[in-house]
Amino acid sequence: MSSYHPLTEQEAIEIAQSIDGFFPAGASLSCKEIGDGNLNLVFHITDSVSGKSLIMKQALPYAKVVGESWPLTLDRARIESEKLILEGKLAPGLVPVVYKYDKELALTVMEDLSDHVIMRHGLIGGTRYPLFADHISTFMARTLFFTSDLGMNQQEKKLQVKTFINPELCKITEDLIFDDPYTVTPNNNISPAIADAADALTRDGELHFEVALLRDKFLTNAQALLHGDLHTGSVFATPESTKVIDPEFAFYGPMGFDVGAVIANLLLNYAGQEHWSADDLARSDFRQYLLNTIVDTWKQFEEKFRALWNEHGIDRLANSAPGYQDFYMRRLLQDTIGFAGCKIVRRIVGLSHVADIDRIPDDAKRERAQRLALEIGTRLIKLNRNAASIEQLIEEVKAAS
């Protein structure tokens, strides 16, 4: 059973039974595959008698998108499992516990979070998460600071960069986020209704200049160990709890890419409120909640990151050069805004979309949401290097609306 092959549900049960002490001896387990099957299998294994359960995620050796498939390294399962374990140490309670990793099978066995809801679906359903900004800002401040040259031994960091080299998954990001949306390619997924706006993206030189700079940063700036795919579909939430999953895109990159991903996905939901809110009053109320969450997330992130730096900073010059911390945080805000813009644009015209927009049943409302998101995204990309405060991001969102 140990050489790689995609597991059947029965085989997943046998592996679960072999994990010492987890399920009672002789338990009769049930298994259901619950993943979307594009990149990975996700098995949910339960024992109805003891009430215990776990999740097994297995990487598939290919990615399947709109019928086509291309090979994709199984090493991402190792990266996911090692990153989850590291996150569990740096940000305890904010990720699922890893019970076991099987290299041959590209399999991670982890805590079952089925009592949580994928945050994207929660937001679509109108749920608010009052502790999300606090939790996600802690997650980001701690995982980013302690894997950067500010917060960890700089020689050890270089070795860790090597461990988390992730060229194939980075290439997906480089193509889908930082290239395809700005050119004419069959890889894009553009609704005919917004063909004019998509076309404008391919001819906007100012935009291309900024995206090229952000792309360069993504390619070259090994600033900290990123989650790499930190959208609201990678967050399990309840109003009391937040758990980040799915770090298979982890690599050493620019910190603003993670912070920007969170903000971008809140803004995609903001655009989707064209449909998901019952009426104008509910819409402006929920949108204000989302904007407050964005501001809180950034402000708490900045405050926590600076506090970690002041207490644990290991770089003498970075710790003491007058104005350096302020400059660093401002540049990080600028990156965050730029990457947020790129992540919004790709979800409207690129290959992979989000349910917040695509599941809007009414054509006219969906088109309005798409145009609004594109307007917000391009404004943020153009703002990025001039930004000095998170309020400027909010002003751009309001100006686009």
What's the chain's length in residues? 401
The burial of 153, by beta-carbon neighbours within 10 Å (0-12 exposed, 13-18 middle, 19 or more buried), is given as exposed
Scan residues 247-276 and list those touching Mg ion (CB under 5 A).
Answer: 248
356 binds ligand ADP (CB under 6 A): no
Span interacting with Mg ion, options 21-29, 169-177, 184-192, 241-249, rule CB under 5 A: 241-249
Q: Does 119 bind ligand ADP (CB under 6 A)?
A: no
Site residue total, Mg ion (CB under 5 A): 3
C-alpha span between 223 and 256 (Å, rounded): 10
Q: Indicate the residue among 113 and 337 with the shorter CB distance to ligand ADP.
A: 113
Scanning 35-43, 128-136, 332-340, 380-388 for contacts with ligand ADP by CB under 6 A, the matching segment is 35-43
Answer yes or no: are the C-beta atoms of 382 and 207 closer than 8 Å: yes
39 binds ligand ADP (CB under 6 A): yes
Of positions 87, 210, 246, 335, contacts Mg ion by CB under 5 A:
246
What span, in angstroms and rounded, lies between the C-alpha atoms of 41 and 62? 11
Which class for 243: exposed (0-12), middle (13-18), buried (19 or more C-beta within 10 A)? buried
186 is in an annotated binding site: no
30 lies in the site for ligand ADP, by CB under 6 A = no
Of the candidate spans 108-116, 129-137, 300-308, 382-390, the one that interacts with ligand ADP by CB under 6 A turns out to be: 108-116
- The two structure tokens encoding residue 358: 């695509």
Residue from 8, 18, 114, 154 touching ligand ADP (CB under 6 A): that is: 114
Compare residues 121 and 306 and give the one whose CB is closer to ligand ADP. 121
Distance CA 235, CA 242 (A): 7
Helices and strands per DSSP (H, E), number in the chain:
15, 12
Q: Indicate whether 247 belongs to the interface with ligand ADP (CB under 6 A).
A: no
Task: Please provide the DSSP assignment of 231-251 as one string.
Answer: SGGGEEE-SS-EEE---TT-E
Nearer Cβ to ligand ADP (42/85): 42
- Partner interacting with residue 57 (select from Mg ion, ligand ADP, none; CB below 5-8 Å by kind): ligand ADP
- Decide: is 113 part of the binding site for ligand ADP (CB under 6 A): yes
Q: How many CB atoms lie within 10 A of CB 1?
A: 11
Stretch touching ligand ADP by CB under 6 A, among 109-117, 148-156, 198-206, 392-400: 109-117
Q: Is 57 in the site for ligand ADP (CB under 6 A)?
A: yes
136 CB contacts (<8 Å, ≥6 apart)? 235, 242, 244, 262, 297
Interface with Mg ion, residue 363, by CB under 5 A:
no
Per-residue b/e over 156-190, b at no fewer than 16 CB within 10 Å? ebeebeeebebeebbebbeebbbbbbbeeeeebbb
Is 118 near ligand ADP (CB under 6 A)?
A: yes
Q: Does 42 bind ligand ADP (CB under 6 A)?
A: yes
**What are the two backbone dihedrals, phi and then psi, of residue 168, each rounded to the nearest 5 degrees?**
-70, -40
Residue 344 neighbours by CB distance under 10 Å:
28
Given the rule CB under 6 A, which residues bind ligand ADP? 34-35, 39-40, 42, 55, 57, 96, 110-114, 118, 234, 245-246, 248
Residues tagged in the binding site annotation for ATP: 40, 57, 111-113, 246-248
Given the rule CB under 5 A, which residues bind Mg ion? 36, 246, 248
